[in-house]
Amino acid sequence: MSGHHHMGREPVNAPIFPPPPVVLLLFIAVGFLLQRFFPLGKPEGTTVSTIVGDALMVLAFAISVLAAREMARSRTAIHPGAAASALVTTGVFQRSRNPIYLSFIFFIVGFGLAIANPWMILLAPLLLLYLQERIVKREETYLTARFGPEYAAYRKRVRRWF
């Protein structure tokens, strides 16, 4: 069942569960548990790792805020799974098609560095894979159905991640 037989109706976006911020928190929780039971590295980080970690977390926050602002300006839903009223291609979306999810990756790596928990950093690629396979690809299918050529052109111009 492709869902293309009902012409004229807008494509429906399926709600995403669990919501991405919850996914991020779950990965962070797993990082804490792994470090608790299978500690890696030294308990105290270096000054450099703390500074780099803090900088990455600030960068993550800044990217999220800029992306949210851009979406608000276009008056489109920020929640994945909600209907998109506009295709946002401005601001941080000129660099990445998924700046908020990218900020999750920067955040978990930064957090891992800041609190000297290598598990957080090791979990980052798995988080990226989860976001890509379970969320991003589904959103891309929806946006392709919703915006067609406009989205196809945007995909050619801007990478999925960075």
Give pTM, 2 decimals. 0.88
* Contact predicate 103/63, CB 8 Å: yes
**Distance separating alpha carbons of residues 80 and 6, to the nearest angstrom:** 23
Nearest to 97 by CA among 51, 56, 58, 144: 144
Q: Determine the average pLDDT of the residues in 93-113.
A: 97
- Residue 7: pLDDT above 70? no
Higher pLDDT, 150 or 46: 150
**Distance separating alpha carbons of residues 14 and 77, to the nearest angstrom:** 13
- Residue 15: pLDDT above 90? no
Q: Determine the average pLDDT of the residues in 132-154.
A: 94
- Residue 18: pLDDT above 80? yes
Maximum Cα–Cα distance across the chain: 60
* Contact predicate 41/118, CB 8 Å: yes
**Average pLDDT of the residues of the chain:** 90
* Contact predicate 107/60, CB 8 Å: yes
Find the distance separating the first CA and the last CA of the chain, reported in whole Å. Answer: 33
Provide Rg for the chain, Cα atoms.
18
- Residue 36: pLDDT above 60? yes
Predicted local distance difference test score (pLDDT) of residue 1? 47
Higher pLDDT, 37 or 43: 37
Give pLDDT tens digits for 40-98.
Answer: 987 777 899 999 999 999 999 999 999 999 999 988 877 776 778 889 999 999 999 99
Nearest to 79 by CA among 153, 18, 130: 18
